[in-house]
Amino acid sequence: DVKVTQSSRYLVKRTGEKVFLECVQDMDHENMFWYRQDPGLGLRLIYFSYDVKMKEKGDIPEGYSVSREKKERFSLILESASTNQTSMYLCASRSTLGGGFFGSGTQLSVL
Amino acid sequence: QQQVKQSPQSLIVQKGGISIINCAYENTAFDYFPWYQQFPGKGPALLIAIRPDVSEKKEGRFTISFNKSAKQFSLHIMDSQPGDSATYFCAASMNRDDKIIFGKGTRLHILP
Give residue B95's pLDDT.
66
pLDDT at A4 over 90: yes
Q: Residue A94 and residue B100: Cβ atoms within 8 Å?
A: yes
Give residue A1's pLDDT.
66
Secondary structure class of B29 (helix, strand, coil)? coil
In this structure, how many other beta carbons lie within 10 angstroms of the beta carbon of residue B29?
14
* Percent of chain A at pLDDT exceeding 70: 96
pLDDT at B97 over 60: no
Question: Measured between CB atoms, does A89 come within 8 Å of chain B?
Answer: no
pLDDT per position as a tens digit, A20-44: 999 999 988 889 999 999 988 889 9
Position A100 confidence tier, pLDDT thresholds 50, 70, 90: confident
Q: Which of B43, B89, B95 sits opposite A104 (nearest CB)?
A: B43
Q: Which of B32, B44, B45 sits opposite A97 (nearest CB)?
A: B32
CA B26 to chain centre: 16
Secondary structure class of A64 (helix, strand, coil)? strand
CA dist B46 and B112 (Å) reads 25
pLDDT per position as a tens digit, A39-72: 888 899 999 998 898 899 999 999 999 999 999 9
Per the CB < 8 A criterion, the answer to whether A95 and A51 are in contact is: no
Residues in B lying within 8 Å of A, measured between beta carbons: 2, 6, 32, 34, 36, 41-46, 49, 89, 95, 97-105
Per the CB < 8 A criterion, the answer to whether B77 and B62 are in contact is: yes
Q: Give mean pLDDT, residues A76-92.
A: 96
